[in-house]
Every structure is written in C-alpha cells, then in structure tokens.
C-alpha cells in the first residue's frame, strides 16, 4: 500500500515537473510581460484540453496496447496519416530545436559560456540518455528536477503583489497598447504551447513503454488530472512574475535571462539557482520527450520496431531516426537562429497541427473493438467534441493571425 502511494505521488510530481517545456516557459513569460494575466484563461483552457486528450490516449494505449500514431495510420489510411506525419514531424522537430536551444540558454545562465557552445553538448547529453538510460529513471529524474520551477510560484508570493490588482488582470481583455489581432495571436500561441501534439504521442507511447494495463488506468488518470493542472498553475505563475516585475518596467521578454530578473528580485541568489536548475531540467526533459516523439511517430506510421525498453539494436531505425532528428536540431541551431524565436514559431505551428492528431484518438476511444467496455463516457465525449471545435478554430486562425500581426510584432 505504501509503495503504491509512493508511486502515485511520484507520478503526480513527475507530471507537474514534466508539464513545462521551453514553449510554455517562453510563451508565458512573453505574454505576461505584454498582456499581464489577461491571457491566463487560455492556459486554463489548454490544460483542460491536454488533460482530456492525454487521458484518452493513455487509456487507448493501456487497453489496446496501440500507441497514438499506429491508430492514426490505421484509422486515417496512409495518405491522410502521411500528411499528418509530415506536419507532426515538422512541428516536433521544430519543438526539439527549441528545447535543445532552451537547454543551451539555461546552461548559459549558470555558466556564462555562450549558448552556441552548449548546443552540441546538450544534444550529445540528450542522445546519451536516450541511448542508455531506463525510461522510468529518465522520466522521474527530469520530472522531479523540473519541480524546481515551483520557484516561480514561490516568487509570486515573495514579490507580494497587490492581489486585488493581480486578480483584476485575470479578466480577458485586450490591453490598450496592443491590438486585438496580437492578443488573439498570443492566445493561439499559448494554447499551442499547452497542447503541443508531441505530448500526446509521448504520453501514449510512454504508456506502452511502461506496459500500462487497465489496472494502471486509475493511476494514470490521477497523474494527469492532478499533475497537469498544477503544471498549468506553474505556467500562470511564470506569466504572473513577468506581469508583476517586467510589465511595469516596460520590458518585453526576448531572452531566457529575463526570466531570472523577477526571481532575483523576489528570492535572491538561492531562488535564482533553484529556478535555473528547473529550467535546465524542464528543457532537458522536454528535449528527451520530443526526440522520442520523432522516433515514435515515424516508427509507428511505418510499423518499425520502437521503444526505449528495447535494446537499441532491437529498434535500430527508431534510434537512427532520433539521432537524425538531433543532428538536424544541432545543425539548425548552429546557423545562429534565435532559439527563443524558434520556440515562438513552434508553438504556433503546433496549434496548426493539433486537430489531425486529436480526431483519431477521439474516434478510437469510442470504438468497442479497441476499447471493449472502456469506451468513452458521455462527459468525455462532450469534452472531446468541444475541444475538437476549439482546435479546428485555433488551427485555422493561427497562420492568418501570424501573417496579419507579423508574428506578434
């Protein structure tokens, strides 16, 4: 009994720590410094959405043993699934670039060695973990260290803001100095950051890696339903830190170092150190997850052997795909692109690719041949359908908004 409680607690803590990635960190900070908390509602909408679909894909994986992209291929056929694969891979690799860049930027904060020099080191470290380390260990260590980002929530309290004022910001409204199009552009970006498709690929494939069965469903549901909302709360506290300190100073976030300024003001050197550990862990964990997701999607579409639980020689093409993805990431970062800019684009393109990923999950979760008695209930279906509509609207709006606002100019 005790060990079971421990497992659940560990799962929840990992889910909190693993929720945040470079996309969430950057987008929330940017949004907080420009819009205060007036977009916090989007995080809430996104978190509920990722809970619904992560739970659904986890359930499908546990009951049928099939991961998300196998199902996408089986249900949508090779052509539509192929388009989906192209879009998902592009977005996942873009996210991987952002995450590896994020690790480098976070390490720079702790070392003042230029982030471009950290990029190959970070990528090599990611690869070594993918190559050697047990799936569970990898998940738990990055997740628990990522918990250090609780520092942002602590900072909000230490800053001792005017709570009434902060609460008043929660009302959705377009600030006077920003246009409505820019507001909605960032709404889509935040939504994309919270619901990135790789999370679902990773979650369902991870369920297969961990050999989930129907018995584990309750645990998985608890992890998702408790862990992700708390992770979302951390997202909002990043925006709050930016809103309290950076917004009044007229600072627009365009680098990761600016994330540490509110922390320094609130908690001093110690808290900054804690948060930097959290930044490294969160981006490192997300880099692992995105790299794995590139391998998962490609292998599952083409029916290759995959999985970290197998020896690399027993899943050679899966490992080769991940190596190539990392090489591409390093190559792109070496062209001196700004990782922050890559991150901002990656979350918007995520929003574009979302509906294609989520529709097949919703369909299969209703299919008794896959799910037996575990087909979706009414509430789950209602939520799933509502979210599908939101996803389609966000996907259609993303590119026009990006062009109209010159990517949030």
Partner 1 sequence: MTSRPNRQPSRPAVVLTVVVALTCGLAACAPAATRADDAGALDSVSDHLDDSSSAVASAELAVRARAAGRLPAVTADVAVGDAVETATGAVHGIGTLVVATGDADRVRDDALDAASAAVGPVAAARTWLGRPPSPADDVLRALDDASSTLDDASGTVDEALARRVTP
Partner 2 sequence: MIASDLLDVPVHDDAGAQLGWVVDLRFVLDGAPDAYLARARLHGLVVSPRTRTSFMGFERSSVRHPWPVAPILRWWHRGAFLVHWPDVARVPHPDEGAGPGDDAAVVLRAGYTAYEPGL
Partner 3 sequence: MRRRRTGSRDVPRGPEPRQPGRVLDARLHLLDRQVLDVDGMPVCTLDDLELEAVDGRSAPDEPIDGSVPVVVAALLTGPVLGTRVFGGRPPASRWHRLSWAHVVDIGTAVRLSVRSDDLDATWLERWTHDHIIGRIPGGHHDPESS
Give me the residues that bind partner 3 (CB under 8 A), please.
64-66, 70, 73-74, 77-79, 81-82, 131-135, 137, 299-306, 308-314, 316-317, 319-320, 369-370
Cα(302)–Cα(124) distance, integer angstroms: 27
Chain centroid to Cα 281, Å, comes to 13
Cα(277)–Cα(292) distance, integer angstroms: 22
Burial 396-406 (b: 16+ CB within 10 A, else e): ebbeebbeebe
Give the chain's length. Answer: 409
Q: Which is nearer to partner 1, 158 or 390 (CB)?
A: 158
Q: Please give the size of the binding site for partner 1, defined by CB under 8 A.
A: 37
Q: How far is the CB of 393 from partner 2 (least distance, A)?
A: 15
Contacts of partner 2 in 348-387 (CB under 8 A): 359, 362-363, 365-368, 375-376, 381, 384-385
Q: Which is nearer to partner 3, 35 or 127 (CB)?
A: 127
CA 327 → CA 98, 297, 336, distances in Å? 14, 18, 15
Q: How far is the CB of 77 from partner 2 (least distance, A)?
A: 4
CB-count burial class (<10 Å; 0-12, 13-18, 19+) for 324 = middle
Cα(292)–Cα(113) distance, integer angstroms: 28
Structural contact between residues 58 and 203, judged by C-beta atoms closer than 8 angstroms:
yes
Residue 402 interacts, among partner 1, partner 2, partner 3, none and using kind-specific CB cut-offs from 5 to 8 Å, with partner 1
Cα(30)–Cα(264) distance, integer angstroms: 18
Structural contact between residues 9 and 220, judged by C-beta atoms closer than 8 angstroms:
no
Question: Phi first, then psi: what are they for 65, rounded to 5°?
Answer: 75, 10
Residue 273 sits in the site that holds partner 1 (CB under 8 A): yes
- Work out which of 264, 323, 380, 392 binds partner 1, going by CB under 8 A: 264
Residue 64 interacts, among partner 2, partner 3, partner 1, none and using kind-specific CB cut-offs from 5 to 8 Å, with partner 3
Which tokens belong to 380?
Answer: 């789950």
Q: Which is nearer to partner 3, 46 or 207 (CB)?
A: 207
Cα(262)–Cα(251) distance, integer angstroms: 11
Q: Which is nearer to partner 1, 224 or 274 (CB)?
A: 274
Residue 155 interacts, among partner 3, partner 2, partner 1, none and using kind-specific CB cut-offs from 5 to 8 Å, with none
Q: How far is the CB of 362 from partner 2 (least distance, A)?
A: 5
- Work out which of 6, 9, 86, 121 binds partner 1, going by CB under 8 A: 86
Residue 303 sits in the site that holds partner 2 (CB under 8 A): no
Residue 361 interacts, among partner 2, partner 3, partner 1, none and using kind-specific CB cut-offs from 5 to 8 Å, with none
In 3D space, the residue among 362, 342, 361 whose CA is nearest the CA of residue 350 turns out to be: 342
- Work out which of 83, 124, 168, 382 binds partner 1, going by CB under 8 A: 83
Residue 376 interacts, among partner 2, partner 3, partner 1, none and using kind-specific CB cut-offs from 5 to 8 Å, with partner 2
Q: How far is the CB of 375 from partner 1 (least distance, A)?
A: 30
Cα(127)–Cα(231) distance, integer angstroms: 26
Contacts of partner 2 in 72-101 (CB under 8 A): 75-77, 80
Instruction: List CB contacts of 149: < 8 A, sequence separation 6 or more.
Output: 17, 20, 234, 238, 275, 278, 279, 282
Q: How far is the CB of 214 from partner 3 (least distance, A)?
A: 14
In 3D space, the residue among 350, 361, 76 whose CA is nearest the CA of residue 191 turns out to be: 350
Residue 313 sits in the site that holds partner 1 (CB under 8 A): no
Q: How far is the CB of 48 from partner 2 (least distance, A)?
A: 17
- Name the site residues for partner 1 (rule: CB under 8 A): 79-80, 83, 86-87, 108-112, 245, 249-252, 254-255, 257-258, 260-261, 264-265, 267-269, 272-273, 276, 345, 349, 399, 402-403, 406-407, 409
């Amino acid at each position: 009994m005790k060990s079971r409680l421990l497992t659940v607690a560990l799962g929840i803590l990992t889910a909190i720590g693993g929720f945040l990635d470079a996309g969430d960190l950057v987008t929330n900070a940017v949004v907080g410094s420009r819009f205060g908390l007036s977009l916090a509602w989007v995080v809430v909408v996104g978190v509920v959405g990722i809970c619904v679909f992560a739970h659904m894909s986890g359930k499908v994986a546990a009951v049928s043993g099939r991961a998300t992209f196998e199902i996408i291929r089986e249900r949508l056929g090779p052509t539509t699934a192929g388009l989906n694969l192209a879009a998902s891979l592009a977005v996942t690799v873009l996210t991987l670039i952002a995450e590896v860049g994020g690790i480098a930027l976070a390490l720079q904060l702790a070392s003042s060695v230029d982030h471009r020099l950290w990029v190959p080191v970070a990528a090599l470290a990611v690869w070594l973990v993918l190559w050697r380390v047990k799936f569970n260990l990898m998940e738990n260590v990055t997740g628990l260290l990522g918990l250090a980002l609780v520092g942002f929530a602590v900072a909000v309290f230490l800053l001792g803001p005017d709570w009434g004022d902060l609460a008043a910001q929660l009302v959705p409204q377009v600030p006077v100095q920003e246009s409505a199009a820019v507001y909605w552009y960032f709404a889509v970006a935040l939504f994309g950051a919270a619901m990135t498709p790789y999370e679902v690929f990773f979650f369902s494939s991870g369920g297969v890696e961990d050999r989930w069965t129907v018995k584990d469903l309750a645990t998985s549901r608890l992890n998702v339903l408790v862990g992700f909302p708390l992770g979302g709360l951390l997202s909002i506290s990043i925006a709050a830190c930016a809103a309290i300190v950076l917004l009044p100073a007229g600072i627009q976030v365009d680098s990761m170092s600016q994330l540490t300024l509110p922390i320094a003001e609130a908690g001093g050197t110690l808290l900054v150190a804690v948060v930097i550990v959290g930044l490294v862990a969160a981006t490192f964990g997300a880099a692992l997850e995105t790299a794995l997701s590139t391998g998962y999607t490609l292998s599952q579409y083409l029916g290759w052997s995959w999985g970290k639980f197998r020896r690399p020689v027993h899943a050679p093409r899966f490992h080769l795909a991940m190596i190539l993805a990392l090489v591409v990431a390093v190559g792109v970062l070496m062209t001196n692109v700004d990782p922050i800019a890559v991150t901002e684009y990656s979350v918007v393109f995520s929003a574009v690719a979302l509906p294609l990923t989520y529709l097949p999950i919703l369909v299969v979760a209703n299919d008794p041949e896959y799910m037996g008695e575990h087909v979706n209930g009414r509430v789950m279906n209602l939520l799933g359908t509502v979210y599908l509509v939101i996803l389609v609207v966000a996907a259609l709006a993303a590119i026009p908004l990006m062009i109209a606002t010159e990517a949030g100019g």
